[in-house]
Amino acid sequence: MDKTDQQLVLEYLNGNNDSFEKILNRYLKPVFNFIYRFSGGITETEDLTQETFFKAWKYLKKFDPEENFKTWLFTIARNTAIDFLRKKKNFSFSDFNDDEGDNLITATLFDPDSSPIEDFKAVEKSEVIERLLNKLSPKYREVLLLHYNHDLTFDEIGKILKKPLDTVKSQHRRALIALKKMIDAPK
């Protein structure tokens, strides 16, 4: 049976160097993909992934074994990507503001079940969904990616984004509305 992340971290801290390599094997692809999608497909994904794992190694002693390692690692990945994008100056923090012109009433009234299945079948092609995702605001994109692509719960996402559970749920709902609008928009 595979060892848990916590077990591997403890083993590494107790001097077993192979354990960090196992952690790296387990998370290299998910972290790489998350950074790539989150940052909109930048060419520096490789460097940012490297930086993420280096920081994780550097601060591993500070990791609380009671916490979820995946959440902790994705928090580092997200912060690393944000720092880089901010330095590149093609990233605005207003993209992450909660009330950025979105209609709260629409968000709460929206029923995702009303969307026709056919629309989804049309966009289930990878290149279409990829294009739509890139059009989404980063704050929406990250919630959708973390939830649907990396199987994190809203609670775990809240820890990564440092936002309350309700805010994450509302952000998720608005992300779905935005996505639905794009899907429904005339081609």
* CA neighbor of 178 nearest in space, from 127, 143, 148: 143
Distance of closest approach, residue 26 Cβ to another protein, in angstroms: 11
Map the footprint of another protein across residues 61-100, applying CB under 8 A.
Answer: none
| Between 51 and 72, CB nearer to another protein | 51
Q: Which residues contact 73 (CB under 8 A, 6 or more apart)?
A: 27, 31, 52, 56
Q: How far is the CB of 3 from another protein (least distance, A)?
A: 19
State the virtual CA torsion across 61, 62, 67, 73 in degrees, nearest 10.
-80
103-137 burial code (b ≥16 CB/10 A, e <16):
eeeebeebeeeeeeeeeeeeeeeeeeeeebbeebb
CB of 82 or CB of 183, closer to another protein: 183
Tokens standing for 172? 């998720």
Give how far Cα 142 sits from Cα of 77, 96, 160, Å: 12, 10, 10
Q: Rule CB under 8 A: say whether 59 interacts with another protein.
A: no
Question: Pick from 52, 57, 62: which is nearest to 28 by CA?
Answer: 52
Determine the interface stretch with another protein among 3-11, 16-24, 153-161, 162-170 (rule: CB under 8 A).
16-24
Q: Does 125 bind another protein (CB under 8 A)?
A: yes
* Residue 154 CB coordination number (10 Å): 17
Please tell me whether residue 182 binds another protein under the rule CB under 8 A. Answer: no
Does 134 help bind another protein (rule: CB under 8 A)?
no
Residue 27 CB, nearest distance to another protein (Å)?
11
Q: Which tokens in the block code for residue 43?
A: 């060419």
Residue of 39, 49, 170, 171 interacting with another protein (CB under 8 A) = 49
The stretch among 3-11, 84-92, 96-104, 110-118 that binds another protein (CB under 8 A) is 110-118
Min dist CB 167 to another protein, Å, is: 19
Which residues of this protein are in contact with another protein, per CB under 8 A?
Answer: 17, 20-21, 24-25, 28-29, 32-33, 36-37, 46, 49-50, 53-54, 57-58, 112-113, 115, 117, 120, 123-126, 129-130, 133, 144-145, 148-149, 176, 179
